[in-house]
Structure 1
Amino acid sequence: MFLRSLTTLACTAVLATAGFAQTAKPAAKPMLSPPATASVTLNGKDITIHYNSPRMRGRKIMGDLVPYGKPWRTGANPATTLITPVNLKIGTLEVPAGTYTLFTLPNEKEWLLIVSKKTGEWGIPYPEGNDLGRTPMTGATLPEPQEDMSISFENTKGNTTELHVKWEKTDEYVTVTAE
């Protein structure tokens, strides 16, 4: 009797293990546009941007995947979010402390950075009528194509920095000052 119970228990364990192997989920694929963060400290406070970073993957980006003349969510997946505990001057735009969504309006000659008061959306469609404001960006050409879209704070001095959006051979940036 004991041997029969032991055999039944062993068979049950083998079947359960085999069933587990058949129902186990496959390893998750890496995200095509993984989450990323850009942050800088100005006036002792951390300013943060959360975004998802798309990849070129052999595609033409500017003027094609990112069309000219239409607001772009400036990243992929959820909308790009700016969190600032201090008042900022972004280019010509006064931005009170708070949480905002960032968009850009790409064009061949000049880009605009759009700061939207609407937050929590996926990033498309663009939330018309919710702009805090828009400000021109300065453009530069990268020497080599950049595969991963990035948002970064660069050339930080005191309470001033530059907010850069880079992808393909495009580098668009605007000055940010903590007030």
Structure 2
Amino acid sequence: MLKKILLGLGTVVLLFVLFVAYSLFIATPQSPPNSAIFAGNGLEIQIDYSQPYKKGRLIFGEESDGALQPFGQYWRLGANAATELTVNQDVLFAGQPIKAGIYRMYAVPGKEAFAVTLNSEAGVFLAVRDPDPELDVLTVEAPVVMQSDVTEMFTISIGEIEGGVRVDFVWDQTLFSIPITTVE
């Protein structure tokens, strides 16, 4: 009798563990992972992030209006996991020097500009907590450009400019950009 109870309990625990593993690692997330990649002239940049959808919601705005991402509050620049920036050489991030490496990237949205921060705490699994501000490397202001078209899925893209790249962040009708240029 005890053997049957233990076997049944073991089966339930095993099924639960398999369900959790499937939910976390196998099932397609609501906000799929994506990467923005650039390689040219010796410069390699990769930004790994997850792409949430608008789904008819107010994205950026006042908390009292029900905004998904209220002005003045931490945002991981995507969903699910922390957004990570990898650069293969020392560069200027919006004019500020950073060393080659991997950085956690987040923002604090504002009506006129986003404060974009690079943090040295990379590799955080699922980024379920805010980053440690003592590990912030730098923060830059990126002016907001309002667009007439609506972008349903949050998208980060990298385009080549003279001396480096411009990283565009666009969601809903909000666009902001950060230049990343090589150190001369």
TM-score bin (small chain): 0.7 to 0.9
Q: Which of 69, 72, 81 does residue 69 from structure 1 map onto?
A: 72
Query: Which residue of the partner structure matches residue 154 of structure 2?
Result: 149
99-108 or 43-52: bigger deviation: 43-52
Return the alpha-carbon distance in structure 2 between the equivalents of residues 145 and 83 of structure 1: 28
Query: Which residue of the partner structure matches residue 143 of structure 2?
Result: 138
Describe the shift of the 1:56–1:101 C-alpha distance in structure 2 as closer, same or farther (beyond 3 A): same
139-148 or 163-172: bigger deviation: 139-148
Structure 1 ranges of 4+ moved more than 6 A: none
Query: TM-score, with normalisation over the residues of structure 2?
Result: 0.77
Return the alpha-carbon distance in structure 2 between the equivalents of residues 29 and 100 of structure 1: 27
Correspondence list, 1:38-117, <5 A: 38-63=36-61, 64-117=67-120
SS at match of 2:113: coil
Q: Which of 113, 123, 126 does residue 127 from structure 2 map onto?
A: 123
Return the alpha-carbon distance in structure 1 between the equivalents of residues 140 and 161 of structure 2: 21
Unaligned runs of 5+ in 1: 1-24
Greater helix proportion: 2
State the identity %. 25
SS at match of 1:129: helix
Number of residue-to-residue matches in the alignment = 152
Partner letter of residue 143 of structure 1? S
Partner letter of residue 174 of structure 1? I
Query: Which residue of the partner structure matches residue 11 of structure 2?
Result: none
Query: TM-score, with normalisation over the residues of structure 1?
Result: 0.79
Return the alpha-carbon distance in structure 1 between the equivalents of residues 156 and 139 of structure 2: 18
Partner letter of residue 49 of structure 2? Y
Partner letter of residue 170 of structure 1? T
Give the RMSD, CA atoms, in angstroms. Answer: 1.7
CA-CA distance at 1:41 after TM superposition: 2.1
